[in-house]
Amino acid sequence: MTEETYISVDVETAGPNPGRYSLLAIGACTLQEPPETFYAELSPLSPDFTPEALQVSGLSLADLEKNGLPPQEAMQRLEQWVRQVTPAGHRPVFVGLNAPFDWSFVNDYFHRFLGHNPFGHSALDIKALYMGLTGAPWQETYLRALAERCGMRLELSHNALQDALDQGRLFRCLLEQARAQTGAGQIPFATHGKEPR
């Protein structure tokens, strides 16, 4: 069986769907302590945006046009980082809080600019894991409920890296609880070339 390396990913965007709106920032981290991290801000592909999206992230399309990475370069850097932190023989697994949203942008950009996605064709959603673990309905899978289950107090910062770090902690906690309930034992949060702490 192929071992898995879980990677928490979060994005900030100019709107609700790829194709029309741009991916503006990507944050990612591994799950061991201390985590290895990735962060990039991207130059926008179009001037389209929704005011709410830019308001919550605090990002500026004008600033990103000047200072953001070209999307192809950003995705090349992300792929290189994913391969660097994924040990030989392991499969990288994209983990997100409301993964369908973040996945849709990352997958679109990987295929658009590189022609492939190093995560493959699927993602793992923390909200769905929480539903399976607790039996909670979908409407109760909000961040505060998940954080309370793990004894944490978290607020979305809408900084892609900070949110990736926070949701990575949540995922690790919930997965450990799920493994304990099923008797599956400890989770090997693999690191590249060293044992997890």
Element (H, E) at 90: strand 90-96
Which ranges constitute the DSSP H helices of 124-159? 126-134, 143-149
Closest CA to 163 of 73, 37, 50, 74: 37
Burial of 68 by CB count in 10 Å (0-12 exposed, 13-18 middle, 19+ buried)?
A: buried
Across 166-176, b (16+ Cβ under 10 Å) vs e yields: bbbbbbbbbbb
List the strands of the sheet with 90-96, edge to edge: 37-41, 23-30, 3-13, 90-96, 124-125
Whether 116 is catalytic:
no
Q: How would you classify the pairing of strands 3-13 and 90-96?
A: parallel
Give me the catalytic one of 90, 111, 121, 158. Answer: 158
Active-site annotation, residues: 158
